[in-house]
């Protein structure tokens, strides 16, 4: 499980995928999100700009990312 520490109040989904090393670029993040390959808190998420807050979890390609303060 990858842990991302928040520097601000939130991080956007596309940025979180890049920060965790799950994707190489914003374009790649946009594609996998639009294709419905990413879940936030167990629900498929289609918005790259979805704001993630402390306690949220993201799953993609068998990896889990936890958002912490």
Over residues 44-60, the pLDDT tens digits come to 999 999 999 999 999 99
pTM of the model: 0.94
Check if the beta carbon of residue 50 is closer than 8 Å to that of residue 39.
Answer: no
Distances (CA, A) of 31 to 13, 25, 34, 53: 12, 10, 5, 22
pLDDT of residue 35: 98
* Percentages (nearest 5) of helix, strand, coil residues in the chain: 25, 35, 45
**Tokens 């965790």 sit on residue:** 20
- Superfamily name with CATH number, domain 2-68: RNA-binding S4 domain (3.10.290.10)
Helix (DSSP H) and strand (DSSP E) numbers for the chain: 2, 7
pLDDT of residue 54: 97
pLDDT of residue 33: 98
């Amino acid at each position: 499980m990858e842990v991302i520490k928040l520097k601000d109040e939130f991080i956007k989904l596309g940025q979180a995928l890049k920060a965790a090393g799950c994707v190489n670029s914003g374009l790649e993040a946009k594609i996998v999100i639009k294709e419905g390959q990413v879940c936030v808190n167990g629900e498929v998420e289609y918005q790259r700009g979805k704001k993630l807050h402390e306690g949220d979890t993201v799953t993609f390609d068998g990896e889990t990312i936890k958002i912490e303060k």
